[in-house]
Structure 1
Amino acid sequence: MPYPSAPDHSGPGPSAPDQSEPGPELRAELVQAALVAIGVAVSGVLLGLVWLWLAPRVPLVWIGDKIYPKDAEGEQAMGADAVFALWALAFGAVSAAVVFWFFRRGGIALVVGLAIGGVLASVIAWRLGVWLGPESSIEAHARAVGRGMSFDSPLKLGAKGALLAWSLAAMAVHLGLTALFGPRDEEPAELGPQGPLGPQGPK
């Protein structure tokens, strides 16, 4: 005698929440990271102006048919790289402190925003300094000033690794501030010998 089959419960149950979409907390972190990256990148304009103002110039002179450095033993070219790198480190540290003070917490999203913004700010500062600096065409500049007259060479960044100085300083300072002053996770309460309510149990 055949028995009636049990009801089939293998069908689709209630739909589970879609895990592919980020939650509101993650979306908020991504928005904050984007704002940080944009704000830091825009501040690269200030670094570019500081670099243009403080970077040492390399004087050149047109003699005969060639253009020579006026000071053969000068180290102005390396000085320009050093000025850019040092000020980028300073700007990176300050930007990290401002971001930590504003948000009062850490988080990988903020660190990524600082890193991306630091690279963009450094590139903006580099290109702005070159654009506002002396004439980029040495030959045209030499013809403009004439033979035997000294003129400044174009502002250049020889060590391209300096473009990472801002990001490295920002990440290091932000992580350090988070470790020192960031919010701490609450430690779970210690369990007694008979559980969390002690040996007497609930009253």
Structure 2
Amino acid sequence: MNASQEPAPPPQPAPGAGSPPAPDSGGPAAPGAGGGFGLAHLTGPAAHAWAEPAPARRPWKRTLTVAVTCALVIVVLGVPLGLLWRWLAPTVPVIDAGQAGIVVNDPSPEEYVAADGWFTLLGLAFGLLVSIGAWLMLRRDRGPFLLLSIVLGTLGAGWLVAPWVGELIGRSDYQQWAESAQQGATYAAPPEVHALGPTLVPAFAAAIALTLMAGWSNDPDLDHPGARPGYGPNSEYDPPPIEEHPPASRPVL
């Protein structure tokens, strides 16, 4: 039998015409393959790209150190707050009334209300400025512990330090005058904070400002170390981008 009389080989089916595709471990599976809901399942390098590692949490030592340091710094800032209040708050005119003691030399004194009003306004501005400054400068340490430290710091500054510093200025001179004053003598007494509410305003303002900024932030988790406002976690925790490969060309019959 010569070459011209050999039987022709059977025709091979065209790719995709009734024959199952060859398995490909490096690309996405065909829709509907493997059960499920007809969704493509990523395998190979593409699945690796989507496997985002769990972000590491901030060490407790750093968290406590930042929280304590922040609270102490805010408490110390109560000193200039008290000095500013003492400079703005008006003095109280008093008179030595003899057996009646030292009384206010004004039938309708407004200095008491003015002292508390000035402290309230300054405390509100103090709480807002401190909370905004800590939010911007300590962006790597945002979270509940930072909120707690700022609230405690502003509470100590507004309730303890600022009133004590402001009322301390000029108090010794006033006490000396009260001991040696004659009946009918007048004096300008230093201002005092007469209510509890104004001393709590800095803490309330800081808590409200921090809560609003945390609610408006679009970071997925404020406790990620290195979180950047508006960009989620730090770039070292972001998954690598998926490289798109063009589909392999098929032979044209």
Distance 1:24 1:107 in 2: 11
Task: For structure 2, list consecutive stretches of 5 or more residues without a partner in the other structure.
Answer: 1-56, 222-231, 233-253
Residue from 121, 124, 130 that aligns with 1:95? 130
CA contact 2:98–2:183 (8 Å) conserved in 1 = yes
Alignment of 1:114 onto 2:150: yes
- Specify the code of the residue in structure 2 equivalent to 1:127: W
Of the three residues 40, 49, 55, the one matched with 2:89 is 55
Kindly state the Cα deviation for residue 79 of structure 1 after the two structures are TM-superposed. Answer: 1.4
- Whole-Å Cα distance in 1 between the matches of residues 215 and 118 of structure 2? 30
Structure 1-normalised TM-score? 0.71
Partner in structure 1 of residue 242 of structure 2: none
Change in CA separation of 1:30 and 1:97 when aligned onto 2, cut-off 3 Å = same
RMSD of aligned Cα (Å): 2.2
**Is the CA contact (8 Å cut-off) linking 1:33 and 1:110 kept in structure 2?**
yes
Deviation at 1:145, TM superposition (A): 4.9
Cα-to-partner distance string for 1:120-151 (whole Å, 9 max, x where unaligned): 1121111111111344865x423545443321
Shift, 1:24, TM fit: 5.5
Query: Which amino acid in structure 2 is aligned with residue 173 of structure 1?
Result: A
SS at match of 2:59: helix
Given the alignment of the two structures, is residue 150 of structure 1 paired with residue 216 of structure 2, yes or no? Answer: no
Greater per-residue helix proportion: 1
Relative contact order (alpha carbons < 8 A, sep ≥ 6): 1 or 2 greater?
Answer: 1
Look up the match of 1:8: none
Answer with 1 or 2: which has the greater Rg.
2
What CA distance in whole angstroms lies between the structure 2 residues aligned with 1:100 and 1:68? 47
Q: Which residue number in structure 2 is paired with residue 126 of structure 1?
A: 163
Query: Which runs of no fewer than 5 residues in structure 1 stay unpaired?
Result: 1-22, 187-203
- Could you tell me how far apart the structure 2 residues matched to 1:33 and 1:143 are? 46
5 Å matches for 1:152-191? 152-181=188-217, 183-185=219-221
| 1:53-77 CA distance string (max 9 Å, x none) | 1112210012343333111201211
Q: Which one-letter code corresponds to 2:162 in the other structure? A: A
Between the aligned residues of both structures, percent identity stands at: 28
Report the residue type matching 2:75 in the other structure: A
Q: 1:37 aligns with which of 68, 71, 74?
A: 71
**Paired residues for 1:2-41 under 5 Å:** 25-41=59-75
**Residues 90 and 114 of structure 2 are in contact (CA less than 8 Å); yes or no, is this contact kept in structure 1?**
yes
Q: Within 1, Cα distance between the matches of 2:84 and 2:180?
A: 27
* Partner residue in 2 for 1:18: none
Partner of 2:121: 86
